[in-house]
Amino acid sequence: MPLITCVEDLRLQAKRRVPRMFYDYADSGSWTEGSYRSNEQAFQAIKFRQRVAVNIAQRSLRSDMAGTSVAMPVALAPTGLTGMQHADGEILAARAAERFGVPFTLSTMSICSIEDVAAHTQAPFWFQLYVMKDRAFIESLIERARAARCSALVLTLDLQILGQRHKDLRNGLSVPPKPTLANLINLAGKLPWCWDMLHTRRRSFGNIVGHVQGVADLSSLSAWTAAQFDPALNWADVEWIKRRWGGKLILKGIMDAEDARLARDSGADALIVSNHGGRQLDGAPSSISALPAIAEAVGRDMEVWLDGGIRSGQDVLKAIALGAKGTLIGRAFLYGLGAQGEAGVTRCLEVIARELDLSMAFCGHVDIRKVTRDILVPGTYPTQPC
């Protein structure tokens, strides 16, 4: 097994193992991919202040997110088609997160169902909800999440319509892959992936097929999904979901301070600063550049987290310094999953935790909960507008 020193090592291994259309699905953005690239680049511009002769013998990364005690302020983000990066991918990622002590979030567009993940884990997990026109289906998803002991609902707000993702269009993305000549040639070089997929029954959208009237197989699923994302989604719907759910509600996709204040007023418990990994509005600012203004606007009233561009523990530390109470990783854990399955997700979390611990120590801090922007070099990080 090749030595894994960083998340980039996992990415390269995943690229070799995962079929092109599913690797590209994870590792791409919309249109020019400018926002996708800027999410990572903006982190690189931020510099640390190194401190010395500070007692750093006793360090702790422990924190909490939405009332959940976590081994470090990192959760696994909701990602669609996770079970196509590796057979039974959502189950494997959830188990790795549970053992490590960080939250796992299951996407509505997962391959393994809510019930699948609940049956293979002990700790409560979070469920991510897309708002669709079929409100009866939304109500049933909420009830299924409650029955599965989900401890929080993550409501994604920035996918009322789908961003144009050129790689998915060129690859003819489908679940499972269509037996075209190009796909068959690509799959011929991914035999370990194929072998694993042959030995699982989970190859479709487990939360949808068989749970929606008129959707019994993949041929009917595609048309239903395309017609269901609701462009009429508004804050009244958020309040309705909050009442219907009754538990912890986290709003994902906030990129503006005014929207953050509306999120606070909706009664949500936390918000996630996120541009959907650069997969929706190309040309949007990076998530980290939007964070300070949002943290300043509502950080005293609700938890502010960040998603987008995190590839290292140093990125986590920078987000915490700029006002995030927690962070979420998506592509980073998908690389680990695609590369090595459950062990790869664990390795991803180990790498990030070690980088976070060492970098915090070099900056003269011992408690992640007490880190502030004083660890950053002034002028290298974004600030809230005056």
Span 7-375: which CATH code?
A: 3.20.20.70
Which tens digits make up the pLDDT trace of 211-258?
887 776 555 666 677 788 889 999 999 999 999 999 999 999 999 999
- Phi then psi for residue 327, to 5 deg, are -135, 165
Is 192 annotated to bind a ligand? Reply is no
Q: What is the pLDDT of residue 219?
A: 55
Is 244 annotated to bind a ligand? Reply is no
Is 25 annotated to bind a ligand? Reply is yes
Is 23 annotated to bind a ligand? Reply is no
As a whole number of angstroms, the distance between CA 317 and CA 311 comes to 11
Which tens digits make up the pLDDT trace of 110-120?
999 999 999 99
Q: Which residue has the higher pLDDT, 224 or 280?
A: 280
**Strand 68-70 vs strand 63-65: parallel, antiparallel, or unpaired?**
antiparallel
Q: Per-domain residue ranges for the chain?
A: 7-375
Active-site choice (166, 211, 276, 365): 276
As a whole number of angstroms, the distance between CA 272 and CA 301 comes to 14
Which tens digits make up the pLDDT trace of 30-60?
999 999 999 999 999 999 999 999 999 999 9
Which tens digits make up the pLDDT trace of 110-169?
999 999 999 999 999 999 999 989 999 999 999 999 999 999 999 999 998 888 899 988
Residue 120 catalytic? no
- What average pLDDT does the structure give for the chain? 94
Is 167 annotated to bind a ligand? Reply is no
- Phi then psi for residue 328, to 5 deg, are -130, 140
